[in-house]
Each structure stands twice: as structure tokens, then as C-alpha cells.
Structure 1
Amino acid sequence: MLNKKCATKDKQAELEERGHWASKAEFFLAVAGNVVGLGNVWRFPYLCYKNGGGAFLVPYLVFVVTCGVPLFLLETTMGQYTQQGGVTCWTKLCPLAEGIGYGGQLILLYSCMTYIIILSWALLYLAFSFSSQLPWASCNNYWNTDDCVDFSARNNTLGWTNQNVSTSAATEFWERRVLAISGGIEEIGSIRWEVMLCLIAMWITCYFCIWKGVKSTGKVVYFTATFPYVMLIILLIRGLSLPGALQGVVYYLLPEPSRLTDPQVWMEAGAQIFFSYSVGVGSLTVLGSYNTYNNNCYKDCLWLCLLNSGTSIAAGFAVFSVLGFMSHEQGIPIEEVAESGPGLAFIAYPQAVAMMPLPQLWSVCFFIMLILLGLDTQFVAMEVVMTSIIDIFPTEMRRAGRRERFLLLFCLICFFCQLVMITEGGMYVFQLFDYYACNGACILFLCVFESLALGWVFGAERLYGIIKDMTGVHANSFFKVCWLYLTPLVSLGSFICSLVKYQPLTFNRWYTYPDWAYVVGWLLAVSSILLVPGWAFYKLGTGTGSLRQRFRHLCQPDPNYSLTQNGETEPQPNREEHLRQSVC
């Protein structure tokens, strides 16, 4: 009997605590680092300019109010209340909808494999920024063609007469030196070894940022979430002091009210909100799950949403002041220098800093900001996947040393799977994953069913009682209207429009993918979507009792997390103690 008790104590000692944030600041910075990322710098400013300038803020704010903030609060509340990851939280609230959790984790897995590629490109550019002359500032390099135009030399802007033939030095450096891009996805070619070394460095960095779980993640975000703001302020001040900056800012915010009648503008505003607020994939649920039960997540969410959108608008001033400077120096319209995505980060902005005094300094500042903005988003996504898997298998995964070994295995699997993205044809594969698997229709689909499952099945009234019990604050009744009606309707409308207005992926507006590549892309998209109905049918098919009984049982929350009739929560069980007992 004594030996049995000793064995039980040994097993309890082996099981590691799930842990909490050491302070509110760690949670705030971790969430800020996750939602404030590359999309704020290279996506929002371009979308704002492209879709009506200041008028774009109207659909943007509509989606913020009806979808962004309500879903942000909803997911953070889920995590803090259940103290569970992105999958197991559904078993406590609405087991029938557990497929939403699995779908979100699959999207994050795809994101982990694509997002870090951007960081490896940025790291390579950072290394080149320490050269005596920036390699993308001239046409005197072995990779340049006869059609190259050097904008850093003032008199050479006259060479930009035939844009169909001429290419900038920054474009040739990006396409011919960094990517060595092939003619299409069919021509994979060889691995770009410099990019691979940068990729290895970024994986090692991410590994050690989160290898101890919330204990290490909470400390790292003090630097990775705050320092980009220092760089952004420096670049903003520098950008506004350049000649032509005012012209860029005017182009950025000049309202075009007529664009408000274009459905495409509203679709892109919605896509930006779902993308930049990191909703639908379980990230906020996991980050909220490390809060203490009585943390005021209601106030935190409102401040974090304000920070996210405010950063997007501020980044627009920093980016378009520089694009206005480029327009002024080159003597061409801004619409011909403004690009989105990788084009803005690795062509337009590097080209701009090459035209400034002390170009190496501004290049270093820009790419350090870019790396840190992306780094905390990347390692938080990894932490979310790790936490969700560990919470599915707690008794096996929370033993000493197992997390570190599993994290290493996860990094190695992702690394070997993404080697195809750093080949000469890898950019085509990268865009295929980014366009179909990580954004767009799949996230909208998950958000529709998430709001329906929690607003209607679990109950908006229950959610209100939970927020009141945890924070002591009565949430605004507008959120109830959003969870029940506005959020699912707006999300569903955006999902349908994204399918109706679907445009096949192209590269640089001239390369059209082969049909088999589009098939692969849609398979990547539906792989996460099908997990929602697939898991529901599986649970209904494998349960006991009649179909009606199974359905009712799967729509009921866990009794340990239920509410009393007056809306207050029942006493919460000691979850860690319960978990230890289950090990024995």
C-alpha cells in the first residue's frame, strides 16, 4: 500500500503545471505581438490606398465593430474561462463544434510553414544591409540585366520610359538574386542555400522563444512586442521629413466616397479584419487560457483592438510618406510605386531607402522592425499549436522534457515540409499556400460556425454571465446582438461573396498557374473547412443512444463549467488537481 502511494506521488510530481502569465503585461504584450504583425505594415496601407483612401475606413470600421471586436472578446473569454487550448475548449462548451478547433489548428500549421519564410527573406536582407553599398541600389551586379534602371542615380529616372521592358534594381535583386525565380511552379529548381541558412536561424530563434512554454514566451514578448514600435516611430519621423511625404499621405487618405458602392472594397475590408485580428484559428483562446480566472479580459480586449487598428493607421503614414518620397524622386505617379505584400516589403521600401542619405541605417531599422513584427506572430502561432496538442494529451505531454522534444519534432517536420518553398520555384508554392490555405474563405467559414455555436447553442446569455463572473463587469449589450445576429450574418455574407467573386491566383499579374495547382490550392482550403462538419458527423455516428439524444448531448457544455439559473458560475474545480488524479 505504501509503495502504491509513493508511486502515485511520483506520477503527480512528473506532471508539469500548465502555468499562467506571470503578469497582465505578459498577456497584453503576447496578444499585441500576435495581432500586430506584418499585415499592419504591408497590407492595411496598400488596401486603404487601393480602395478609396479615407473612405476605406468606413467598411473597415464596420467590420471592426460587427466582427473584429466581438470575435476577439469571444475567443479570449473562451480561453480564460475554460483554461484550455484551441481544441479542448470546445469539449467544455459545445462538443459538437470541436471540429472548429481542429480546423483552426490546421490553418495555423499552414501559417507556421509560410510565415517564417518571410522572416528568412527579411533576415537575408538585413544581412545585406550591412554592405558598404546596398546591393539593390545599383545595376552593376552580376545578376542585373540590360533592362535594369538605377533610381538612386537622379539622372537615371529618364530610363523609366518603357515600364514593360525596364525593371528597377530592387526588383532584379529580389527576383534574380534572392529568389532566383524560375519560369513557373513546374520548374522547382534547386534550393536557395542562403535563404535556407536564414530559415534555420529563424527556426532556432523561435524554438528557444517558446521551448519552456508560457514561462519563456512571457519574457521574450517584452522585447519582441515593444521594440518594433520604437523602429516604427523612427521610420515614421524619418518618412514624414522626406520631400514628397505630404503627397504620399494625401494619396493614402484622400477619400473616394464612390468606392463605397463597390462590393470588392467591403470584401477586402472584411478580409483585413479577420486576418489582422487573428480570429477564427484559436490563437486568442490559447493566449487567454493562461490568464487567471478573474483577469479583466473585457477591458484588455477593447484596448488591444484599439492598439491593433491604431498601429495599422500609423503604419500607413510611415509607409506612404516614403512612397510619396519615391514618387517625388522618380517623377512617376504613386500608384506605380505602391505595391502590396512581399512587393512592398522587399522591392518598394528597399528601393526607397537606397535613395535616402545613410541608406544602410534605414535599411537596418526597417528589416529589424519587419523581423520582430513577424517573429512574435510566428512563435505565438507555434505556441498555440503546441498548447492545443498538449491539452489534448495532457497526461502524456506534460511530463518533464516531453514538451521540448515534441517542439523540436514539430519544428523539424515544418522545416522539411517547407524546403520546397525556398527553391527557385518556391515563390509559386509559397503564394499557393498563402492565398488558399492561410487566409480567405477558410477563416470566414470557421468564424461563421464559431459565432453560431457559441451565440446560439452555448448561449449568448451564458457568455454574459461568464464575463460578469470573471471580470465583475457587465459587457455592453451590443456584443450580444453581434454574437447572435451581426457577426454570423456578416461573416456568412463575406464568405459567400469571397466564393462568388473568386479570382484565380496569379503571380506578378502575368503568370497563370496550371489547373492542377489550383486543384491543390482548393484542397488546402477545404482541408480545414471539412473538419467542421466531418468531426460533427463522426461524433454523432460514434455516440450512444438515439440520434436525437446524441445531438442534445453534444450540444451541452461540460457540467463542471455550467452556470446556475441566475447567470453565476458554479464553483470551479481545481483543474490541475483533477488532472493529477487522472494520471494516477
Structure 2
Amino acid sequence: MADPTPDANRGAWNSKLGFILAASGSAIGLGNIVFFASNAYQYGGGAFYLPYFIALFVMGIPIMILEFTVGTMTGRSIPLALGKLAGKKGEFVGWWSLASALTITMYYITILGWALAMLVGSFGSLFEPGATAPFEPFLEPSEGVNSQVWFFNMIATWWPLVAVSVIWALTAILLWKGTETIEKGVRVFVPLMWVFMIGLVIHGLTLPGGTDGVAYLFTPNLDGITDIQVWQGAFAQMFFSLSLGLGTMVAYASYLPRDADNVNNSLLVSFLNCGFEYIAGIAIFAILFVYALNPAGGTLSLSFFVIPQGIAGFSELPLLVKSFGVFFFFLLVIAGLTSAVSLVEGMASALIDKLGISRARALALVMTPGVAGSLTFALPFIVDPALSGDGTLGFTLFDLVDHWAFRYSLITVGLLECLLLGWVLGAEKIRAAVNEHSKFKLPAFFDWMIKLIIPAILGFVLIGTLYEDITQEGGVYGFQWGVEAIGILPVVVPIVWLAFTVGLAAYLTTRRTHSTPPHHAGDPTLTAVDTQA
């Protein structure tokens, strides 16, 4: 069968290496560096690894194969790809996934802005004693280095808005010429991430007590494996870790030729992502055990409070401490930047496909609400001086949006993808398309994984998460802080998020498509779908 080349107006990867680096760079982000270590600690170290490893093969790789195949089969981004394969309801799911991804991008880039501010602070006062912040617990100067005080002082200033603007500018530069500039960027940033992380591993293991942390990380607690929350946490972490349900993997795969080996590509990207997480876990656990630090909390507390506090104790030499601070926060920025680029590209490529507009205009349409949202999450107005919650208005909004958008949207999209492609299109057609060009053939069991097993797992995770939210003490998330100044924001925020994402998805679904996805002559899977449309 002849292999049509991708649409020249959309661009194409110059090499398979460029695609693998871009896709793995999308998957590797802030969560891989610190969130994995936090989850592993929370769920008993080694007890987390077996469920996590099973989640990789039962859910992670199969859904990645699914998303790569959708991209290469259609040569289009996720809304038009799902629309071609499953009709208007599929296109709506695609647009809803991108609307949710845009929401996540807004506050994700705000986090990167904070990381950039901490990077600059590493050259200055971050690792020096005497920090204060305009909050009641931090009014007195700290006796020693205190990264938490420094962080809260930083977010209460206008400096993060400048840092956020810089991150958006860098993202735009990397996306300006599509795959050409993305590939140039990831060829530098992704290898740098590995070099920097391996450097942290080596340093952590050479510190007294560093190997104890690694031993804890890899020693399984069989009692913990029987805990259902360990399995739920492992499957949720795997889904988030591989950037599934965001539309990014479909967009990146759409720039590949039709004869791409999607099984091989999925294995490479998944193993690179998980390999990075494993060595990141070694580095972080070594630091935690050397300095007896508690990694309780999520990505932010570990990134901005716990690990910098550990870096401050690396040496009595201030220059060495600052060097490692720069080292760590530069790693966070470049890891997050490769993920941010893919998130923005997902929506930009979809607008190009749907509206037939130029890349520059598509980027402008994405960045206008994106920049506004990111700046909103960085607003320094103090609404909680006692720090019962998050302190500033921007940080409070970030916390509330993250709780709802991140916890629910990715898994919901993954569930709907499997149901639409498994039952409406037919999982056997997906498998036939994959096996046509793959060295490793998918077995017939793959069909039932897509149709039943993975939807059942994702449904269980969603129901469990919703149950936790409904039954938690204090009611709707945010009210337990007891901060009068934020009023009814805990109720308003999830409503606004749903209204924005559903409304945007419905509007774009009903818009006339400028050009339909290219038909691949002789492709039985697309021909069968076209007869149903």
C-alpha cells in the first residue's frame, strides 16, 4: 500500500528520533521528577513499584498505542481524528479534551514561572538565611535558609507575572515553525534533562545515607500491595505520567507517516518516560533520606519547599549550594517547557485542522486566553494572611482548578476514547491498522483491553476519586480552609471550568470544518468508518 506523506501545510518530523524526543519530552515533566517520588513515598516505597509496573502494561502502553494510531491513521489532531473515526460525538470528546488541556496549560505555565523565579533566586537570596514573607507565620526573619518562606514572599510580589510571560514567550518561540522548531528544541532539552537528572543521582548516592533512601524505594512492602489505594494511585500516576488524554500524543503522531510502527514508538516513549521516573525517584529519595525530609504533599511542596531545603544542606559552601539550586530549578524549567510546548501544540494543531488558519493565528488564538489564565493564577493579592489555605488569590485559584481539572479530565477522556474507539469504530479495526505496519503484532486480547478492561479500571479510579471528594470532611474542596475572603470560589471554580470546557467544545464541534482529513486510499478502516458517517 502506498504511504501518503503527511499534509505539507501541517508539517512533519524530520526523523523518528525527533518524534521520540518530542513525545518523551511531552511525557517527562514536573510530575515525573517529584510527583512520582511523592506517590511512591505515600504508598510505601517499593510497594508502589509492582502496581505501577503492571499499570504500564495494562493501561499505559495500550492507550498510547491507541492515541498514536489515531494520529497516524487520520493525519489530524484529536478532535478531527475522533470525528473521522467516531462521528460528531467523537469530535466533541476531542475538543473537550483540548479545552481541559488548555485549562491545565494555564496553571502549568504558572508553575513553570514560579520555577523560573526560584531559578533566578538561586543566584540571589533563596539559599540565604533571614527570609520573611507578608504572612503571619513568616513575619519574623528565618534563622536559617527557608525555601518555603522565600516562595511565599515571591508569590506575593509581581515578579511571577514577569516570569510567566517569559515562559509563554519561550513556548511561542519553540512552536513558531511547528515540528521544525519543536524538534530543534527537544534535541537540546531532552538530553539535558537526562544529564542533569543523572548528575543529581550521582550526587545523592555519594552522600552519607543516600543509599538507604534507594533501598527503601526498591524494597517492597507486601502488606502495602494489598491496599486498594496503592493500586488506584499507581494507575492514576501512570495515566498522568504518560500525558494521555490531553490530545498531545495524537497531535504529535499526526505528523508521522502512515506506515509508522506505533507499537515500537509507544514502547520507546513509555520506557523512556518511566526510566526517567525511576532515576528521578532514586535522586529524590536519596536527598530525602540524607536530610530526613518528609515528602508529604504533592508536586509543589516537594519542588519548592522540601528539595530546596535539602539542597541548602548539601554543603557549607554557599557557592556549591547555589550551584545545585541552579542545577535543580533549571531541570524543572526545561522539563516543564517540553511538556508545555506539547500542550499548546495540541490545541494549535487542532485549530489549524478545523479552521484552515495559519500557525501564527492559531498560536495567537491559543495564547490569548492562555496567557491571561496563567497571569490570573500568578496574581499576588493576599487573601489569606494566616496561610490557612494558599495565601494569595492566584495560588488559591490554581489549587481549586487543579483539583477539579487535573483529577477528572484526563481519565474521563481516556475512558471515552476507549469506549468510542473500542465500540463505535471497533477495536479490531484499530488493531488491524496497528499490525499492518508493526513488527510486534498485537494479539486479539488487545480488543478486550480497549473495550472492557481499561474502561473498567478508569471507571473505578473516577468513581473512587469522586467518592473521596463527596465524602471528605468539610464539604466541597476549599471550604475546609475556612478562609472568608475567598467566598464561594470553591463552588464557582468547578462550575466555571465545566462551563468553559463544555461550551468551547460544543462551539468548535458545530463550526464548519475548513478541510476534511485526508482519506488514505485503500485503507479499509477509514473506508468502513466513512460508510457509517
Instruction: Report the TM range for the smaller structure's normalisation.
Output: 0.7 to 0.9
Aligned partner of 1:466 in structure 2 is 433
The structural deviation recorded for 1:267 is 2.4
What amino acid is aligned across from residue 198 of structure 2 in structure 1?
Answer: I
The answer (yes or no) to whether the contact 1:469–1:568 under 8 Å persists in 2 is no
Match of 1:456 in 2: 423
CA distance in 1, matches of 2:525, 2:492: 48
What amino acid does structure 2 have at the position aligned with 1:431?
A: D
Q: Secondary structure at the match of 1:431?
A: helix
In 2, Cα distance between equivalents of 1:281 and 1:528: 16
Change over 3 Å in CA distance of 1:241–1:510 after alignment to 2:
farther
| 1:19 match: secondary structure | coil
Kindly report which structure 2 residues correspond to 1:244-263, keeping only aligned pairs within 5 A, or say none.
244-263=209-228
In structure 2, the residue matched to 1:170 is 147
C-alpha contact 2:106 2:370 (8 A) present in aligned 1:
yes
Map Cα deviations across residues 69-94 of structure 1 (whole Å, 9 max, x no partner). Answer: 11111000000110001111022211
2:300 — aligned with what?
Answer: 342
> Residue 94 of structure 1 corresponds to which residue in structure 2?
86
Q: 2:336 aligns with which of 371, 374, 377?
A: 374
Most deviating of 475-484 and 270-279: 475-484
Query: Among residues 473, 489, 493, which one is paired with 1:521 in the alignment?
Result: 493
SS of equivalent residue, structure 2 residue 114: helix
CA deviations 1:406-441 (Å, max 9, x no partner) are 42343233222332211222111111121112x122
Question: Which amino acid in structure 2 is aligned with residue 179 of structure 1?
Answer: I
Q: Is the 8 A contact 1:52 1:259 kept in 2?
A: yes
SS at match of 2:488: helix
TM-score normalised by L of structure 2: 0.85
Contact persistence 1:445–1:529 (CA under 8 A): no
Pairing partner for 2:29 from 18, 26, 37? 37
Shift of 1:485: 1.7
Contact between 1:441 and 1:525, CA under 8 Å: does it hold in 2? no
Match of 1:137 in 2: 128
Letter of the structure 2 residue corresponding to residue 178 of structure 1: M
**Residue-pair matches, total:** 494
Matching residue within 106, 109, 113 for 1:116: 109
1:582 aligns with: none
Contact 1:38 1:370 in 2 (8 A): yes
Match of 1:427 in 2: 395
Question: What corresponds to 1:161 in structure 2?
Answer: none
Contact 1:135 1:141 in 2 (8 A): no
Decide whether the 8 Å contact of 2:78 with 2:91 is kept in 1.
no
Aligned to 1:87, the other structure's residue is in SS state helix
Indicate conservation of the 8 Å contact 1:338/1:348, yes or no.
no
For residue 388 of structure 1, the aligned residue among 318, 329, 350 is 350
RMSD: 3.1
Secondary structure in 2 matching 1:501: helix
In structure 2, C-alpha distance between the alignment counterparts of 1:199 and 1:428, rounded to whole Å: 17
Which sections of structure 2, spanning at least 5 residues, go unmatched?
1-6, 381-391
CA contact (8 A) 2:86 2:425 kept: yes
- Structure 1 window deviating more from structure 2 (106-115 vs 245-254): it is 245-254
| Range 73-82 or range 267-276, more displaced | 267-276
Q: Which amino acid aligns with 2:417?
A: E
Out of 298, 309, 312, the position equivalent to 1:351 is: 309
Q: 1:364 to 1:212 in 2, by over 3 A?
A: same
Tell me if the contact between 2:109 and 2:374 (Cα under 8 Å) persists in the aligned partners. no
Counterparts in 2 of 1:474 and 1:562: CA distance versus 1, 3 Å: farther
Amino acid at match of 2:448: V
Give the TM-score normalised by structure 1: 0.78
Q: 1:148 aligns with which of 142, 151, 155?
A: 142
Which has the larger Rg? 1
Counterparts in 2 of 1:31-430, with a 5 A limit?
Answer: 31-95=23-87, 96-131=89-124, 134-139=125-130, 145-146=139-140, 148-150=142-144, 169-175=146-152, 177-180=153-156, 192-327=157-292, 334-335=293-294, 338-357=296-315, 358-394=320-356, 397=357, 402-424=358-380, 425=392, 426-430=394-398
For residues 568 and 500 of structure 1, the distance between their equivalents in structure 2, rounded to whole angstroms, comes to: 39
Aligned residue type for 2:335 = L
What are the superposed Cα offsets for residues 222-254 of structure 1, whole Å, 9 maximum, x if unpaired? 012221111001111011111221233244344
1:456/1:470 Cα in 2 relative to 1: closer, same or farther (>3 Å)? same
Q: Partner amino acid for 1:195? A: P
1:441 lines up with 2:408 in the alignment: yes
Q: Which is further off, 71-80 or 305-314?
A: 305-314
Q: 1:524 to 1:278 in 2, by over 3 A?
A: farther
**For residue 151 of structure 2, what is the amino acid of its counterpart?**
W
* Aligned-pair CA distance for 1:469: 2.5
Equivalent residue number for residue 549 of structure 1: none
Identical aligned residues as a percent: 28
Q: CA deviation at 1:463?
A: 1.0
2:486 is aligned with 1:486: no
Question: CA 1:229–1:512 in structure 2 vs 1: closer, same or farther (change >3 Å)?
Answer: farther
In 1, are the aligned partners of 2:74 and 2:518 still within 8 Å (CA)? no
More divergent stretch after superposition (493-502 vs 468-477): 468-477
Distance 2:179 2:51 in 1: 36
Q: Structure 1 CA distance, aligned partners of 2:219 and 2:235? A: 20
Query: 1:40 deviation in Å?
Result: 0.7
Contact 2:161–2:379 (CA under 8 A) maintained in structure 1: no
Q: 2: distance between equivalents of 1:534 and 1:403?
A: 23
Deviations 1:281-324 (A, max 9, x none): 21111100000111212111012111211211211110111111
